[in-house]
Structure 1
Amino acid sequence: MDAGDPAHAQTAEPSRTGTDTAPALHGSFTLDREFSVPREQVFRGFADLELRRRWFRLPGRSATAEHELDFRPGGGESARNVFVSGGAEERLAFRSRFLDVVPDTRIVYSCGSEVNGVVRWVSLVTVELSDAPAGSRLTWTEQYTWLVYTGDGAQDVAHLRVGTRLLLNGLTAVVDPGAVLLPAAV
């Protein structure tokens, strides 16, 4: 059984108030990525704010984007932006707290994503870096809990997985520019 199978969740429409009483939707996924550069270089892509801004950003105009990073255990990250969809503004926010940072080896953080002040999902993310024959390997494991989701949550889960693949493509383009990017499709 796939822990991320939305068929195990009850149907719920998104709540604008954040008081949705539908059960939380739990799951997890793991993505692997190979790099032709050493893991120290991949780690810098997470730790250096200028590099991170090049691959991690919320949708919306650059002029409205805000991004702060305190990359250490107990520190965190905050990103905010305004996205216009169908003529309506959506205020997006991402917040994280770093729980474990082992240089060039492991990053563990908790995070949450908000739309218009409503927490949509929270996750525990573990990023592990190891040596590989051609350079390094990144393993991204995300354990998520959707609090407010659409329908049975299948589209929300797919959006999270594809969004993470796109983030990893962005990271790859920044730290390993000659690499071939993988399709975002699940």
Structure 2
Amino acid sequence: MTRHSAMHETFAIERKMRAPVSRVFAAWADAEAKRKWFACHDEWVPIEYSLEFRIGGQERNRVADSDGVLHAYEARYLDIVPQARIIYAYDMKLGQTRISASLATITFEATPSGTTMLFTEQVVFLDDYTDGGSRRQGTEILVDRIQAFVERDGSTAH
């Protein structure tokens, strides 16, 4: 019998990027751009990706890991303020098992040298799922990838 539990964790990752807010925000908002950086394991096999970037819109990302296990991400956008803030809720599944539910907030602030982006996640790990810090680690990889993406010239619309 599965024990029904909920373990909460909150973390924040801040990055100073040498790119204008418009470029950093567009990397989140444009499906083609986001597909280029939104992966923390290049060796995993993409199965499905879709992005409907609007309040109430959904995003799906399904990939298979090197053992063939399905990793499914499904998000719903709750709040979008262009060039300033994105808030979305999402869940993660391994195979058919929901392992977590999260609320993520990304804020963007213009600086003289570019943009400060702050990613904050409040996550609930479900039913004795042991994360061991891999969610934060995976998110740090994603933040590094978006930073590299937007700091390349011409990577997204300005």
Asked if these proteins are the same fold (TM beyond 0.5), I'd say yes
Question: How much does 1:53 deviate?
Answer: 0.3
User: Does the alignment pair 1:138 with 2:117?
Assistant: yes
Question: How much does 1:130 deviate?
Answer: 0.5
65-74 or 168-177, larger mean C-alpha shift: 168-177
Equivalent residue for 2:19? 37
User: Does the alignment pair 1:177 with 2:156?
Assistant: no
User: Does the alignment pair 1:100 with 2:100?
Assistant: no
Deviations 1:32-73 (A, max 9, x none): 0011111110000001111100111364544x4210000000
How many residues align? The count is 152
Q: 2:140 aligns with which of 143, 150, 165?
A: 165
State the alpha-carbon separation in 2 of the partners of residues 146 and 43 from structure 1: 28
Deviations 1:98-133 (A, max 9, x none): 000111100000001101111111100000001123
| Secondary structure, counterpart of 1:104 in structure 2 | coil
Question: How much does 1:177 deviate?
Answer: 2.5
| Secondary structure, counterpart of 2:75 in structure 1 | strand
Equivalent residue for 2:8? 26
Which runs of 5 or more structure 1 residues have no equivalent in the other structure?
1-18, 179-186
Q: Is the 8 A contact 2:3 2:128 kept in 1?
A: no
Q: 1:81 to 1:58 in 2, by over 3 A?
A: farther
Equivalent residue for 2:156? none
Q: 1:61 to 1:158 in 2, by over 3 A?
A: closer
Q: Which TM-score applies when normalising by structure 1?
A: 0.76
Equivalent residue for 1:16? none
After the TM superposition, which residues 11-160 of structure 1 pair with which residues of structure 2 at under 5 Å, given as runs?
A: 20-57=2-39, 59=41, 61-62=44-45, 64-85=46-67, 89-150=68-129, 153=130, 156-160=131-135
Q: 1:46 to 1:167 in 2, by over 3 A?
A: same
Percent identical residues: 30
Q: Which has the higher strand share?
A: 2
Q: Which amino acid aligns with 1:36?
A: R
Choose 1 or 2 for highest CA Rg.
1
Structure 1 segments (4+ residues) deviating >6 Å: none
Q: Which TM-score applies when normalising by structure 2?
A: 0.89
| Secondary structure, counterpart of 1:84 in structure 2 | coil
